Each structure stands twice: as C-alpha cells, then as structure tokens.
Amino acid sequence: MERLNLKHKLGDKWISTLASIWIQCTSGSLYTFSIYSPILKSTQRYDQSTLDTVSVFKDIGANCGVLSGLLYTFATPSNRRNAYFGGPCLVLSAGAIQCFMGYFLIWASVVGLIPRPPVVGMCFFVLLAAHAQTFFNTANVVTAVRNFPNYSGTAVGIMKGFLGLSGAILIQFYETIFHNKPTSYLLVLALLPTINPLLLMWFVRIYDTKEQEEKKLLNAISCVALLLAAYLMVVIIVDHLFTFQLLVRIATFVVLLLLLSSPLCIVPSLRAREKDSSVIHQSLISEGQSFDQEMEVHDTRDSLEEDNLNLLQAMGSVNFWILFFAMACGMGSGLATVNNLGQIGESLGYSNFETNTLVSLWSIWNFLGRFGVGYVSDHFMYVKGWARPLFMVLTLLSMSVGHAVIASGMPGALYAGSILVGVCYGSQWSLMPTIASEIFGVKHLGTIFNAITIASPVGSYIFSVRVVGFVYDKEAWGSGCSGTHCFMLSFLIMASATLLGSLAALALFFHTKNFYNQVILRRLLHSLRE
C-alpha cells in the first residue's frame, strides 16, 4: 500500500504524458534555423555554401539518435515497476546538457564572447544542439509507447505532433518577445529548451497501470492538439495578411499558452467523471488483489509483444531494411521539398508573401500527418483489423501523387502538392516508430527507431543535392532559373522514388500480415476479458 501511495503522490501516466508534451513543445528549435541563420552568416563571414554545410550538420545531429536509444535502454530497467525511479530522467538530462552547450557556444561565437571558431567548430556546435532533440524525442516517444501499448499509434502521434508544432510555437515566442533580435533568441534557445526538460523530467516515468477510459482521455488530448494546430494556422495566415502590433502579439501568445495548459484541467475532470460513474467499487480491492492485477497486466502486455530484438538482431531482418528504404524515400523527399519550397515558389512566379506563407504552414501539415495517421491507424487496426504497414503504403503513394502535382507546375499546384507532401511526410514520423515497436518489441525501441531515422538525412542528401540541386544548376541560366522546367524533372524523380517506397511498404505489409492478424486477435480477446 505504501508503494501505491508513493506513486499517487508523485504522479501517474497522465502527468507523465502532459510533461512529455510540454517538453516536446520546446524541443523543435532546429526548425527555427532560418531565424538566426542570417546573423550566423554575417558574423562568421560565411558564404551561402558554407552556411548550407553548417545546416547539413544540423540535420545530421537531429536524425542520428542511436546514442539516445542506447542510453534509454541502459538506463531503463527491464523490470517496469522499478523503472519509475530511472530511465527517461537520465536521457532528458543528457539532452538538456547538449542543448545548452550547443546553443550557448553558438551564441558566444555570434556575440564575440569567444574567438570566431573554424567552420568545423561551428558545425560541431550546431550538431550538438540539434543532437539534443533526439534525446528529448526518444525519452518522450518510447515512454509513451510503454505507457499506452494498446494505443501506441495515438500516443506516438501526439508526441510527434507536438514536436512538429514546436517550430511554430517557438516562432510565435520569438515574434512576441524577441522580434528582430536573433542574437538574443539564440541565448533563449540555450536556456528555454534546457530548463523546461530539467523541470519536467521528474514526471516522465514508465507506469504499468491501465485505466478503462484511456482512449477517451487520449482523444481529449488529441482534440487540444487539433485546436492548437488550427489556432496556429489562423495566427500565421492573419499575421501574413496584417502585420500584428505588439499588444496583439502578446494577446495571441497568451491564448497559445492557455491552450497548451488546458489539458491540466481537461484530463482530471474526465478522470473524475470516470471514477464517479464506473470505478466506485475499486476502493474495496485489497492490496494483494491490486498487486495481482498489476502483474497480470504486465504479463499480458509481454505476451502481446513479439520477441524484443536488439539493434543488431533487428538489422539482420529484412523488415528493418524495408523500413529503412521506405523512410529514405518518404522522409528524404519530404525534406528536399520543404528545403526548396522558397526557391520553387520563386521560379514559378509566386510572390514572397505566398512562398513565406507556404513555408510557415508546413509545420501545420507536418503536424496533421504526425498526429492524424497515428490516430487513424489505431482506429482501423482495432475496428477493421487493418495492419499498420498498410497506412505506410497509402501515405507514400499519396506523397508520390503530391510530388507529381508539384511537378506539373499548374496554377495552385504548389499549394495542393505541398499540403499533400507535408501531411504524408509527417505521417512517416508517426508510423515508423509505432511499426518498429510492434515488429521488434519495445525493449530496444529507442535504439532501433533512431537507427531507421538515419534514412532521413541519407535520403535528404540524395534528393536535395544529387537530384534537386543538380537539376536546378543544369537548368539555370545566369543567376537563377524561372519556369516549371527548373524543378519538374526533380519532382518526377522524387514521385518515382516514393512510389518505389510505397511498393517496399507493400512488401512489408504482406510479410507481416500474419503477425498483425495474430496480435490484433489476441488484443481483442484480452480487451473482451477486461
């Protein structure tokens, strides 16, 4: 009874989930690189090529998170009940240290606090700052999967979705408090994404408890996420149409903070209503019965997971490399698209206002993909029995259509195509970790899904440099290129690549179909017993 009271005092999986969400909201600082890159370029006397090289190390740091996965596996005991006192805290603190060191050294270089570092030194600073995101992401995503094994798609979608929105949230913070002060903003990036995890990491824990209305509570958090995304979309569009005055910016930012804090009121209210209506009799359960039920849930969860493979074992399976290839096609071509949206708009004759709006709204489409597909795949997996890799097939196929639409160069094609590509790109970040947890198990999930994530910078380099950059330079005349021919071939190539990725995902679907059928059947039987 003393152990249960201690858990009650320190929190539960819902407090853990909210803490993870708020950490994710400040973890996407690398998405705001465009804010401080001009001051970085001018103070360090970089040309565009050198700045692009520094940016590449940002992408490498943000997508090579195997170390964070290894640390999570090492720090999280195999006995889940004892994991309450270890694991995620250590990973989050390691990320906070890297974040502070990376951004503080960048800021110190910009203001002249330290001598101007060589390019390789700045690349290291940027890599260190970006690498911190993998530690925040691993701790929050893997903990969410372990806390909600029956709704892992929704849980991952929520975590990845808020990470996708974090760029827009931080930009609103910058525009409100540090408008046109990128140097001060760099110092804030050294402090805010560091202090926030250090304050909240004590609540991010792994719990073995299971509640009857988990889906309803996750849905409530999902509604808040959708409302937040809609609000940010309206603010971004209106701000581009009518420049906000300071008081208006402060008011919109206060509303943003209220939306972020609203789950603190919504979740306890729903849980209290649930307890009043259906769980009154549980107060009569003895401590021994409670412990037995906890062990039963623990054993049942373990029985629902395939063998927990480590990284080397996973890499020895064909499923790992199918996922890697599909992600290289999907994530790589998606990154190549967003990195070149401004240049594409310019070549097609779009105004600066139109292209800036497209770039700003990318985070919203990214969020909708990350959150929406996680939720939808959970629903259809339980209700219709559809295996989750099928959604990877559908989203990659849709992304191929999106690339083809952009390649067409028709009026409005960049708007429609970027929405389709943005949503489908975001969906891969939700689907891949969830599928990896189901196929390879959760014990080494942090290491495995971060290893697969390396496909993102690999694919981005191939499509951005070897495809888009090469074709653009070949088609360009003088100082620039104008017309649909500048990017048509590039996007047709990326459309073909994502089509191949969807075929690879289709092979994964057939290869794991029997496994998913067995898992779904056992989970449904388990649900009927409860």
DSSP for 146-190, please give it: HH-GGGHHHHHHHHHHHHHHHHHHHHHHHHHHSTT-HHHHHHHHH
Cβ neighbours, 10 Å, residue 492: 16
Q: What end-to-end distance do the CA atoms of the chain give, in Å?
A: 23
Residue 124 tokens read as 């290291």
Residue 148 contacts residue 217 (beta carbons within 8 Å): no
What is the structure's pLDDT at 76? 84
**Residues 308-324, buried b or exposed e (16+ Cβ, 10 A)?**
bbebeebeeeebbebbb
* Separation of CA 240 from chain center: 26
Residue 440 contacts residue 321 (beta carbons within 8 Å): no
Digitized pLDDT (tens) for each residue of the chain, 530 residues in all? 444 444 444 458 889 999 999 999 999 888 888 788 888 988 998 886 788 788 888 888 998 999 999 999 998 865 444 444 458 999 999 999 999 999 999 999 999 999 999 999 999 999 999 999 999 999 999 999 999 988 889 999 999 999 989 988 998 898 888 888 889 999 999 999 999 999 999 999 988 777 777 888 898 899 999 999 999 999 988 888 887 888 999 999 999 999 999 988 887 776 666 665 544 334 333 333 443 444 343 433 343 347 689 999 999 999 999 999 999 999 999 988 887 887 888 888 888 777 777 877 888 899 999 999 999 998 888 888 889 999 999 999 999 999 999 999 898 899 999 999 999 999 999 999 999 999 999 989 999 999 999 999 899 888 888 888 888 878 876 666 888 888 899 999 999 999 999 999 999 999 998 888 887 657 655 654 55
All residues at 6 or more sequence positions from 490 whose CB lies less than 8 Å from its CB, including other chains? 407, 463, 467, 468, 471, 472
Measured CA to CA, the distance from residue 120 to residue 32 in angstroms comes to 21
What is the structure's pLDDT at 8? 46
Cβ neighbours, 10 Å, residue 333: 33
Distance (Å) of CA 110 to CA 106, 200, 262, 448: 6, 30, 38, 37
Catalogue the E-assigned strands of 330-449.
none
Three-class DSSP category at 233: helix
Measured CA to CA, the distance from residue 450 to residue 457 in angstroms comes to 12
All residues at 6 or more sequence positions from 107 whose CB lies less than 8 Å from its CB, including other chains? 113, 183, 186, 187, 189, 190
Measured CA to CA, the distance from residue 407 to residue 417 in angstroms comes to 9
Measured CA to CA, the distance from residue 217 to residue 353 in angstroms comes to 39
Measured CA to CA, the distance from residue 59 to residue 526 in angstroms comes to 42
Measured CA to CA, the distance from residue 20 to residue 89 in angstroms comes to 11
Distance (Å) of CA 251 to CA 179, 248, 264, 506: 15, 5, 21, 48
Assessment of whether the complete model's pTM goes beyond 0.75: yes
What is the structure's pLDDT at 362? 86
CA-based radius of gyration for the chain: 23
